[in-house]
């Protein structure tokens, strides 16, 4: 048995998402790029590559990882490129998307042999969190002024518009896309491609995939553009668990199970967005599941079990792929979860693909 803590990627579950992506591509004509900022566990890329067109990135390192480990189309985006990065960036990318007109002015000449795009901010979004809302006041994420967009025109062949956030509501997507068509349609018609970014939760239970495909196809035909999608969370949702073990149980008015992991170190988004982990909820024995760091609020959440917990019992925390492995850190020096994959080979073989040691911890600082 693999020692905890470890992230366990279920390849069969991952493939369910991949098959939905492949179907959407086929029905809509849109291309799908994995957003590496959400999920960059390259040990799982072999299962994903056949079903997606490539990757998109938010930095030079993500861009390079996409080129080297995933292949296919490689889009390069960064909120701001530095002089020291740009030559290397364009050596990996087949499209580079600048965030601002000033970055475009600065670097477009260097990138003139590949396709160039600009980020368009439609100034609305579906994000409920100010922290993650690209349309927040004074947002630095993209251009919206038509005169500035037009000024980019001779140099760009497309735009990237990322404005959805775990949007499960097709009707809302449809309405907002109509708004983009009416506000920016005349401009978009002059381009070859439009990326609609990520954040559409089309691999979720019950999402009307066919309607989405038809809507994307209509958008593409109306404007004469190749559509791209950049699914991050939708690519890997529900595919991965964080496997932990109970180290101690304390009872100070409430039973608290302390496990060999930490939300701050291993599931940071729970802390940032004040969410609780997806834990077992069946049975008569309630516990609070908490991490082992000295942060008082290092709490996964409330859970219920069929029997009283014992030291050594294992617990699976659901949905631990997106924005999770990419954010793990060495807070408190807690050992990083290993990474394992349950292969979709019929036998359910679990393969340990990466372990972390004291040397990794020490070498992350000096």
Ligand X SMILES: *Cc1c(COP(=O)(O)O)cnc(C)c1O
Query: Which is nearer to ligand X, 159 or 315 (by Cβ)?
Result: 159
- Mark residues 67-106: x for contact with ligand X by CB under 6 A, - for none: ----------x-----------------------------
**Among 38, 48, 76, 258, which residue sits at the site for ligand X (rule: CB under 6 A)?**
38
We find the least distance from the C-beta atom of residue 161 to ligand X, in angstroms, to be 9
201 neighbors 167 (Cβ within 8 angstroms): yes
| Burial tier of 84 (Cβ tally within 10 Å: 0-12, 13-18, 19+) | exposed
Candidates 34-42, 122-130, 291-299, 333-341: pick the segment binding ligand X (CB under 6 A).
Answer: 34-42
If we measure between CA atoms, which residue out of 195, 8, 232, 219 comes closest to residue 116? 195
CA-to-CA distance for 271 and 330, rounded, in angstroms? 15
We find the least distance from the C-beta atom of residue 59 to ligand X, in angstroms, to be 11
302 neighbors 276 (Cβ within 8 angstroms): yes
- Mark residues 234-273: x for contact with ligand X by CB under 6 A, - for none: x---------------------------------------
Determine if 233 is a binding residue for ligand X (CB under 6 A): yes
We find the least distance from the C-beta atom of residue 238 to ligand X, in angstroms, to be 14
**Among 14, 24, 30, 35, which residue sits at the site for ligand X (rule: CB under 6 A)?**
35
If we measure between CA atoms, which residue out of 266, 263, 260 comes closest to residue 312? 260
Helix (H) or strand (E) holding 12: helix 11-28
Determine if 197 is a binding residue for ligand X (CB under 6 A): yes
CA-to-CA distance for 72 and 52, rounded, in angstroms? 8
We find the least distance from the C-beta atom of residue 117 to ligand X, in angstroms, to be 11
Query: Which is nearer to ligand X, 199 or 291 (by Cβ)?
Result: 199
CA-to-CA distance for 83 and 141, rounded, in angstroms? 20
For residue 202, what are its two tokens? 């089309």
Buried b (16+ CB within 10 A) or exposed e, 278-301: bbeeeeeeebbbbbbbebeebbbb
Query: Which is nearer to ligand X, 36 or 317 (by Cβ)?
Result: 36
Determine if 66 is a binding residue for ligand X (CB under 6 A): no
If we measure between CA atoms, which residue out of 141, 233, 220 comes closest to residue 177? 220
For residue 59, what are its two tokens? 């930095």
We find the least distance from the C-beta atom of residue 119 to ligand X, in angstroms, to be 7
Query: Which is nearer to ligand X, 230 or 298 (by Cβ)?
Result: 230
Determine if 231 is a binding residue for ligand X (CB under 6 A): yes
User: Which residues 201-230 are close enough to bind ligand X by CB under 6 A?
Assistant: 230
Candidates 68-76, 196-204, 220-228, 267-275: pick the segment binding ligand X (CB under 6 A).
Answer: 196-204
- Strand pairing report for 338-342 and 193-195: unpaired
Interacting residues toward ligand X by CB under 6 A: 35, 37-38, 56, 77, 162, 165, 197-199, 230-234
């Amino acid at each position: 048995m693999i020692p905890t803590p470890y992230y366990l990627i279920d390849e069969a579950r991952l493939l369910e998402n991949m098959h939905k992506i492949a179907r959407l591509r086929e029905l809509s004509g849109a291309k799908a790029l994995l957003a590496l900022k959400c999920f960059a566990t390259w040990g799982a890329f072999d299962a994903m590559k056949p079903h997606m067109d490539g990757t998109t990135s938010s930095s030079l390192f993500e861009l390079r990882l996409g080129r080297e480990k995933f292949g296919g189309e490689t889009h390069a985006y960064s909120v701001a490129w530095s002089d020291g990065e740009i030559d290397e960036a364009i050596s990996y990318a087949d499209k580079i998307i600048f965030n601002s007109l000033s970055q475009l002015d600065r670097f477009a000449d260097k990138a003139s042999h590949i396709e160039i795009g600009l980020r368009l901010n439609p100034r609305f979004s579906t994000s409920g969190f100010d922290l993650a809302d690209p349309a927040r006041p004074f947002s630095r994420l993209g251009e919206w002024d038509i005169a500035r967009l037009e000024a980019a025109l001779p140099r760009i062949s497309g735009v990237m518009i990322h404005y959805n956030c775990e949007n499960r509501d097709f009707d809302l997507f449809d309405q907002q896309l109509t708004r983009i068509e009416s506000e920016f349609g005349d401009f978009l018609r002059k381009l070859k491609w439009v990326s609609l970014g990520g954040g559409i939760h089309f691999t979720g239970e019950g999402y009307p995939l066919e309607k989405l495909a038809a809507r994307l196809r209509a958008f593409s035909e109306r404007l004469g553009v190749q559509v791209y999608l950049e699914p991050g969370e939708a690519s890997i949702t529900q595919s991965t668990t964080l496997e932990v073990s109970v180290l101690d149980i304390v009872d100070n008015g409430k039973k608290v199970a302390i496990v060999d992991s930490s939300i701050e170190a291993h599931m940071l988004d729970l802390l940032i967005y004040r969410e609780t982990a997806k834990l077992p909820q069946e049975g008569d024995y309630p516990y609070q599941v908490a991490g082992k760091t000295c942060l008082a609020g290092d709490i996964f959440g409330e859970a219920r079990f069929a029997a009283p917990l014992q030291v050594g019992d294992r617990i699976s925390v659901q949905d631990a792929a997106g924005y999770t492995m990419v954010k793990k850190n060495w807070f408190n020096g807690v050992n990083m979860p290993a990474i394992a994959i349950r292969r979709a080979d019929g036998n359910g073989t679990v393969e340990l693909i990466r372990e972390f040691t004291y040397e990794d911890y020490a070498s992350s600082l000096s």
